[in-house]
Amino acid sequence: MIPTKICGITNLSDAQTVAAHGASAIGFIFFEKSSRAISIEDAKFISDHLSNDISKVGVFVNHEKEFIEEAIGFVSLNMIQLHGDETPEFCNQFKVPILKALQIKDEASLSVMRDFNVDGFLLDTFSKDYYGGTGKTFDWSLLNGKQKTPIILSGGLNASNILDAIASVNPSAIDVNSGVELSPGVKDHDKIKTLFKKLDGTYSSVRVFTNT
């Protein structure tokens, strides 16, 4: 199955459910303005009760380096996802693998990828009001499949469009958030089950998440 990250995890029940269905990673959003924000303490509690087989990814938006490093150590994060306006220089300061999130509006949005030396790019839908979590897809045809750095596809993915998305983009991994929710930060376990049934048989040769 293609490596799959379920983001916006806020409670242990949801984390255990996605892990049981074969998720490669979960995402903790530490951005205080997010409707799916979680504290370092709550993320640590969830992380401590999960197997080491699932990767724990911390999502940060223009946070200070010190805060990110504190979260990495305290929560035992395997990777971090920088979802704000972080510079290439800022991204190169950490000892864990880095995912840089980019908001895709048009072909020019992809041009900045050449400036970064990161472990993967998470491509989300552009919004002038939000740093992510729009629940909307972007024009997948903008991707030509020639990117050397692994691509994690995000933005409006759910059980209805996930196979089309994979066929169109051929990403290294996928990231799903609102597409498996009852409400922001609360996952729908039936939607999770349906999503992973759809993903059964999908494949990626790229190992994106550190524990998969």
Catalytic residues: 7, 124
Query: Are residues 108 and 138 in contact, defined by beta-carbon separation less than 8 angstroms?
Result: no
Which tokens is 173 given? 């991994």
CA angle 131, 133, 134 (to 5 degrees): 95
Alpha carbons 76 and 46: distance in angstroms, whole number: 11
Pairing relation of β-strands 181-183 and 186-187?
antiparallel
Query: Are residues 190 and 146 in contact, defined by beta-carbon separation less than 8 angstroms?
Result: no
Going by C-alpha positions, the residue among 190, 186, 55 that lies closest to residue 120 is 55
- Sign of the C-alpha dihedral computed for residues 58, 62, 63 and 65 taken in this order: positive
Task: Find the radius of gyration of the CA atoms of the chain.
Answer: 16
Query: Are residues 57 and 25 in contact, defined by beta-carbon separation less than 8 angstroms?
Result: yes
The string of DSSP codes covering 41-79 is: HHHHHHHHTS-TTSEEEEEESS--HHHHHHHHHHHT-SE
Which tokens is 40 given? 């370092």
